[in-house]
């Protein structure tokens, strides 16, 4: 058959819109003309099945729908069922105005939302502007990498952060052969040559370690080298064995996270991770701390009420999270109180008990956050914390 140049299709529809109550009719013959080089014409006879005859007893009911008039040839009306101002339902050939307005607003809001999501996605997970090789070259040659010099010295166990800054100010630290007097100078121990008091700082940095210590009475939470009763002295055996277990790696400089006064026993965290210690001890962490206070004399309801109402410490009114009188142990005559606080003020629990008119005989911390002091951990002993323990600490 020759190439089809044009196609003319004529279909005569009903003069009324297609409605459920309108019966089917037999359409006239459909003619399809295909002009070709031979001027031949093809005709197709198309007919539809006649409608099912209705019983004679059932009279034909008129259509309940209004007459929209004669529809133009080839146009199909879709009636809309709307509720008029009088509250009655009616049919109309065009959608209501409020529907068209809602559709327009919906399309606009959807487009705006998708555009906003696309923009946010582009800012957060956009493709890198430069190649991986270009970024690596920049990081290795131009980027200001490394850590602050004072932080590197403290992490290497030279001294505390404050004492390391004093060594830098005194001109006792050199970086790549030059005296450095700025603690904020960024250095890389693996690349830079650092000397402190004539001794070369090792290239390797000690790994981060975390311990839970059952602090005994009479020890202070200080990392001073001249403190014989410091809790850090309880780790002497661990530090002496460090060189054998980690050859070539400097010893970690340990310090406590927060403090317990000299007369208080129980849980204290010891680490060499300054960022972790800052995050754990900062007031924004809002970690609760549980204490067991053994008091002299009897405890009555008025004492518990006074403790729960709180007291003023350093100009701040501190209120405990909870106060509970524990059952008295058979072999002990003194009463015990379970007190939970989160402010972390100096001597907070002692001041709360004192303001209630009671005297503390002994005080022990048994929990920080979600980590509780193990029952089998002896006084003066420590255990290394696992990732699950660190997560419980927050």
Instruction: Establish if 350 belongs to a structural domain.
Output: yes
The per-residue pLDDT for 16 is 44
In this structure, the answer to whether residues 269 and 311 fall within a common structural domain is no
Residues 229 and 297 in one domain: no
Residue at 82 is within a domain: no
- Pick the closest to residue 170 from 191, 200, 150 (CA basis): 150
Rounded to whole angstroms, how far apart are CA atoms 204 and 152? 11
| Nearest partner of 160 among 150, 169, 170, 168, judged by Cα | 150
CA atoms within 13 A on the CB side of 163: 13
Percent of the chain with pLDDT over 90: 33
Confidence of residue 307 (pLDDT cuts 50, 70, 90): very high
Residue 363 has pLDDT above 70, yes or no: yes
**Does 337 share its domain with 278?**
no
**Same-domain status, 256 and 322:** no
Q: Which band of pLDDT confidence, cut at 50, 70 and 90, is reported for residue 324?
A: very high
Mean pLDDT of 166-183: 91
What was the pLDDT predicted at 122?
A: 52
Residue 24 pLDDT class (50, 70, 90 cuts): very low
Domain boundary among 227, 251, 285: 285
* pLDDT score for 160: 75
Decide: 341 and 323 in contact? Cβ < 8 Å.
no
Residues 233 and 161 in one domain: no
Dist CA 373 CA 266 (whole Å):
7
Q: Say how many C-beta atoms besides its own lie within 10 A of residue 175's C-beta.
A: 18
Residue 163: inside a domain, yes or no?
A: yes
Number of domains the chain is built from: 3
Any domain includes 125: no
State which of 30-39, 134-143, 239-248 shows the largest mean pLDDT. 239-248
The pLDDT-based confidence of 163 (bands split at 50, 70, 90) is: confident
Q: Give the residue numbers annotated as catalytic, written as ranges.
A: 261
For residue 7, being part of any structural domain is answered with: no
Q: Residue 319: its pLDDT value, please?
A: 92
pLDDT given for residue 119 in this prediction: 62
**Cα end-to-end distance, the chain, whole Å:** 82
Asked if residue 267 and residue 217 are part of one domain, the reply reads yes
Q: How confident is the model at residue 223 (pLDDT cuts 50, 70, 90)?
A: low
Q: In this structure, what CATH number is given to the domain that contains residue 229?
A: 3.30.70.580
- Which residues contact residue 44 at a Cβ distance below 8 angstroms, ignoring those fewer than 6 apart? 30, 31, 32
Domain boundary pick from 269, 285, 301: 285
Whether the CB-CB separation of 166 and 181 falls below 8 Å is answered with no
Question: What's residue 17's pLDDT?
Answer: 45
Mean pLDDT lowest for which of 15-19, 43-47, 115-119, 347-351? 15-19
What pLDDT score was predicted for residue 48? 53
**In CATH, what number is assigned to the domain containing residue 361?**
3.30.70.1560
pLDDT at 18: 44
Three-state DSSP state, 257: strand
Shared-domain flag, residues 317 and 306: yes
Q: Is residue 306 part of a domain?
A: yes
Residue bearing the bigger pLDDT, 275 or 256: 256
In a domain, 349, yes or no: yes
Neighbours of 244 (CB within 10 A): 7
186 with 224, same domain? no
User: What's the mean pLDDT in 343-350?
Assistant: 87
With residues binned 3-state (H G I as helix, E B as strand, rest as coil), the percentages for the chain, rounded to 5, are 25, 20, 50
- Rounded (5°) CA angle 277-230-369: 35
Structure tokens, 347: 């001597």
pLDDT (average), residues 80-92: 78
The reply to whether 292 and 345 lie within a common domain is yes
- Among 2-6, 157-161, 247-251, 356-360, the range with the most confident prediction by mean pLDDT is 356-360
Per the structure, the complete domain to which residue 251 belongs is given by 210-285
Inform me whether the pLDDT recorded for 146 exceeds 60.
yes
Tell me what the pLDDT averaged over the chain comes to: 77
Does 315 lie in the same domain as 302? yes
Kind of pairing, strands 359-368 and 265-271? parallel
The residue ranking higher by pLDDT, 80 or 272, is 272
Which of 171, 200, 229 is where one domain is finished? 200
- Per-residue pLDDT, 213: 95
Residues 306 and 361 in one domain: yes
Q: What is the pLDDT of residue 84?
A: 75
Look at residue 385 and tell me if it is in a domain.
no
With a cut of 80, say whether residue 105 has pLDDT above it.
Answer: no
């Amino acid at each position: 058959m020759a190439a089809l140049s044009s196609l003319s299709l004529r279909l005569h529809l009903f003069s009324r819109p297609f409605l459920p109550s309108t019966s089917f009719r037999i359409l006239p013959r459909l003619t399809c003309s295909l002009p070709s080089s031979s001027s031949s014409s093809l005709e197709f006879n198309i007919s539809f099945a006649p409608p099912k005859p209705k019983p004679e007893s059932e009279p034909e009911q008129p259509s309940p729908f209004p007459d929209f008039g004669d529809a133009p040839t080839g146009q199909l009306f879709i009636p809309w069922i709307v509720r008029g101002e009088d509250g009655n339902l009616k049919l109309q050939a065009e959608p209501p105005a409020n529907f068209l307005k809602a559709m327009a607003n919906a399309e606009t809001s959807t487009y705006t939302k998708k555009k906003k999501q696309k923009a946010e996605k582009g800012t957060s997970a956009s493709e890198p502007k430069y190649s991986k090789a270009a970024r690596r070259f920049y990081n290795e040659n131009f980027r200001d990498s490394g850590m602050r010099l004072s932080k590197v010295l403290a992490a290497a166990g030279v001294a505390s952060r404050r004492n390391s800054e004093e060594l830098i100010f005194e001109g006792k630290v050199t970086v790549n052969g030059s005296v450095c007097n700025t603690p904020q100078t960024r250095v890389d121990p693996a690349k830079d040559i650092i000397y402190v008091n004539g001794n070369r700082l090792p290239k390797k940095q000690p790994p981060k370690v975390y311990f839970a210590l059952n602090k005994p009475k009479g020890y202070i939470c200080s990392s001073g080298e001249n403190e014989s009763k410091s809790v850090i002295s309880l780790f002497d055996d661990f530090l002496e064995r460090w060189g054998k277990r980690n050859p070539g790696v400097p010893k970690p400089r340990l310090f406590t996270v927060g403090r317990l006064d000299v007369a208080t026993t129980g849980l204290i965290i010891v680490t060499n991770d300054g960022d972790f210690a800052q995050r754990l001890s900062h007031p924004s962490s809002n970690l609760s701390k549980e204490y067991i206070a053994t008091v002299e004399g009897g405890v009555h309801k008025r004492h518990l009420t006074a403790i729960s109402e709180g007291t003023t410490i350093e100009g701040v009114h501190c209120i405990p999270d909870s106060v509970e009188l524990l059952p008295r142990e058979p072999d002990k005559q003194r009463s015990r109180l379970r007190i939970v606080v989160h402010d972390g003020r100096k001597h907070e629990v002692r001041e709360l008990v004192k303001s209630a008119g009671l005297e503390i005989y002994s005080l022990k911390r048994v929990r920080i956050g979600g980590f509780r002091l193990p029952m089998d951990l002896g006084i003066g002993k420590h255990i290394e914390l696992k990732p699950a323990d660190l997560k419980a600490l927050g």
